Structures are given as structure tokens and as C-alpha cells.
Structure 1
Amino acid sequence: MTATALKIPETFFHSKMFRGLGQEELGRLTQICQRRRAASGEYLIHQNSTAQNVYVVVSGIVMIERLSRAGRRQVISFAFSGDYIGFTNTDEFEYSVVCLSTTELQMFPRRALLEIIDQYPLLKSNARLMGGNVLAQAMDHLFAMGQKKAHERVCFLLDQIQRRQCGISKSEIDLVMSRQDIADYLGLTIETVSRALAKLSGMSVIEITNAHRIRILDRVQLEEMASVH
């Protein structure tokens, strides 16, 4: 893990939170921002640790998870380029964040960032909008968990990844997460995830290229099964 001083880069605008800002706001943000590179498997945040930093994902994929006292894990969400992680209403994080691939991030001291956000109306509006998006995504996830069959839940995840991924064909999906990660996100067992993928393959909705690559064959049908609206 490395952290270095950051000048205003083009990647500063990967997040909607920084869109439309003027030079004054950008200058203030640049003063407190550092660039961080994290390896696959590295934890950015540990559950119950002090909430010190906020991150914006520049490239790569990270996973947000939460453990119960009994050791049971729930994967809360996956974050992609442009997403921010680390905002919290308490002084401790109630979740952990782990990188699923080599990940580039922008890192901001939480308190300093909150002070700047409070001073600029557009930045505050952007942050509120991003918070609303996170809530909407959580509601979609909850609906899928409660109302969809196993293969439809898998379609829900594949649709999410396809819409957010960068760097490969839109017809192909990189599954950097493990089958266990997928199971813990969708409220299923590993065996059920495997059966659901096999079913979708048998329906000619997807083609399983290998353990970490899926090709979408029928985009319309996948979207119909994934829909939560």
C-alpha cells in the first residue's frame, strides 16, 4: 500500500460528487486528497475501526461486508469506479471494505472533507445526491433478496456489474468476486449460485466462459429477470 500527494488529475472527476465544482472547491479538495493504490485482498476499512477516511474508487472493485457477533457475514454491496465509500454518521465504521482487485483510490480525511462539503452548496447537494443513490441501491438489493428466485437474483447482480464495469466488452462480465462472495451478497449458498448460473446457461441467457468470465447472450431476458421495478 502506498499513499502519495495528489495534484488535480483527470481522475478527480470520476465521482458525481465532484461534478460542476469551480476552481476554489477543487483547490480545497486537492489540498486534502491523496492517491492510494491497494492490492487485491487488502482491507481499506475494518469493521468497528475509527472512521478516519473517505475513499473514491478510481479503478478496480471493492466489496463492503458486515460480520455479526456470531461470525456470520453479509456482503452489503460492491463499489466500482466513481463510487465513494467511508461516509458514516458515527465515529466508527459498521462494516469492512476489501479490494477484490488491484484498486486505485482517492483518499480524503473524513472530518476535513465534511467541513469542506458543509461550506459549498453545490458540493453539499452532490453529496446528498450520492447518498440518495446509495439508499436507492440498497432498496433494490433488499427487494431482489426478498422477492426474486435464485437465478433472478444472479441476473440482478450480473446486470449491476455489466452496467458499472469498465475496460471490457459490454457483452462480457468479469466476476472478480468469488462464488462465496456472490452467495453472501444474494442470500444464497454456493451450491445454489452454481445451479443458478447453470440454469441461466441452459436457458441461453449467458455463456460461462470460465470461473471468472460470463458472456451475456440474451441481454433483454437478463434485464427482465434482473428488474426490481
Structure 2
Amino acid sequence: MDNAMMNDIERISGVLRFANYFRTWPQEDILELAGLCQWVRFDTDTMMISADDPASALYLIVNGHVELSFKDRDGKDGVIDLLGNGQLVGECALVPDGCYAVSVRTLEATTAISIDGAAFSDFLAAHFDRALTMMSAMTERLCQLLRQAEELKCRSAAQRLGIYFLADAVPIDGAHETPLTIEKSALARKLGMTSETISRALKKLSEIGVSQHANGHIIRIADAQTLSEWCGLSGNDAKEGSQNALKAAI
């Protein structure tokens, strides 16, 4: 193996070890997995994965945002989710002769790590403990999608938006602030809204101390506890604040 390839494997392994899917893996397994990977880069509004195409690779998003979607019987696009750094897409590539179930399109220039699906499947077959961690991570992701579907039915648009803001809020000067790293139109699709609905939701949230700054790129929450209660979160959800409990609800 030449030095350039070794350096690339080391760089890839450095990224993999911080991803939730592989964080508990021993270093030798991380390095072996890195040998099955390569860097890939996509321009804005590029189709990374097309539904029903043969599934050949998984992608770990390193930098950027992507949109998962499907087409209904009338040929209209339906958004399933938006994913960003550290998220994995294309898991169908682990199924022999499988096809992608959804389409994945970049919302901005995106860097990812491509993992050969067939080789990764063979790797997991030979490393039972690693296969269990992947099963656990994918099961958690499925449960999150089911919770999101439940939230669409049980909470108002403004409540869902409020929960999204709380999920990444950090304390600053006696309040909390959340950076908006994606366009509001993309955020609306993620939360199952239209752009008009998200505007109305923002107006409603302004009555509860939520304000926009820096041309809408920073959301300021005057009282996170009040917003949590208004959004119908339990006490434990509110206490866990910006971490998994709130992210599970969106």
C-alpha cells in the first residue's frame, strides 16, 4: 500500500471514529472499515441516491445537508427527513441485491465518505459485535422516524418548530440561541410544513419569547423552560434540552 493511500485511510478512520455508528469500535476495526471507503464530493442540488436504483454504497455525511424523499403514486415528491453531519444514508446497500428505498439529494455542497456496500456486509458478517452495534444504531434511527410520524399528528406546527429550536439551543447571556444552518424552506419540508406554515409558526412562537436575529440565521429563546412546557415536553425532555430527547421528537 503506497503512502498516499495509507494517509487517506488514516484520514477517513479519523472521521469514522467520531461518528455515532462507529464510536465504540476498536481502532483496528475502524482502520479495516476505512479501507473499504473513499471520499466523495457532491455539488448543491445533486442526486446522491435515486430510489429503486441498485444499492451499491452507503454514505456517511461529513459536511453538508441532504434531503431524503420519495415519490407518491401521483408522482409528487414527499420529504422524509433532512440529515447532516455524522448521519448515514443508503443503508439498503447492506442487503444483497437490494435497491435504494428513497432518494437522497444534496441541499448544499456536501462531502461524504462512501462505503462499499457488499464489502461492508462481508465485514459485518465476520465481526458479530460490530454488526450488533450497526443493528442498534439503525433500530434507533427507525424508532426516531416513527416518533417523527407521531409528532406530525400530535403537535401543532409551532410546537414542532419550537422543539426543533430547543434541540440545538445553547445558553447565551441568560437566554438560549439556536443557529439555523439550513434554509427555512428546507426546514419546513423536514418538519412536514409549507413555507407559509413555517412563517405562521414563527409568528406564533414570537408570542412566547422566540425571536430572529442575524437575518433569521440565529433564533433567540428568551425562556427555554417556558417554551418547552408550551411545546408539551415532559420535565425530563426539558431537562435534557439540546440532546437526544429533543432530537427524538423532531
TM class by smaller structure:
0.7 to 0.9
Deviation at 1:61, TM superposition (A): 1.8
User: Which residue in 2 is equivalent to 1:202?
Assistant: 207
2:117 to 107, 110, 118: 110
Report if aligned partners of 2:59, 2:115 keep a CA contact under 8 Å in 1: yes
TM-score between both structures, scaled by the size of structure 2: 0.76
State, as a whole percentage, how many aligned pairs show the same letter: 24
- Cα distance change, pair 157–66 in 1 and its aligned pair in 2 (3 A): farther
Structure 2 match to 1:8? 10
Q: TM-score, normalised by structure 1?
A: 0.83
> Is the CA contact (8 Å cut-off) linking 2:68 and 2:102 kept in structure 1?
yes
Structure 2 unaligned spans of 5+: 170-175, 234-248
- Residue 49 of structure 2 corresponds to which residue in structure 1? 45
Give the C-alpha shift of residue 190 in structure 1.
2.4
- Post-superposition offset of 1:112: 1.0
> Residue in 2 aligned with 1:167?
none
CA contact (8 A) 1:53 1:108 kept: yes
CA offsets per residue over residues 130-158 of structure 1, 9 Å max, x none? 11221121122112101001201222333
Q: Which runs of 5+ in 1 are unaligned?
A: 164-169
User: Structure 1: how far apart are the matches of 2:206 and 2:156?
Assistant: 16
| 1:214 equivalenced with 2:216 (yes/no) | no
CA RMSD, 1 decimal: 2.4
Equivalent AA in structure 1 for residue 191 of structure 2: L
Return the alpha-carbon distance in structure 2 between the equivalents of residues 189 and 20 of structure 1. Answer: 39
- Contact 2:165–2:178 (CA under 8 A) maintained in structure 1: no
Aligned residues: 217
CA distance in 1, matches of 2:228, 2:41: 34
The SS at the match of 1:223 is helix
Quick one: structure 1 residues 72 and 150, their matched pair in 2 at CA, closer, same or farther if it must change by over 3 Å? same
Per the TM alignment, residue 86 of structure 1 is displaced from its structure 2 partner at its CA by: 0.6
Larger Rg: 2
Q: Please report how far the alpha carbon of residue 211 of structure 1 lies from its aligned counterpart in structure 2 after TM superposition.
A: 4.5
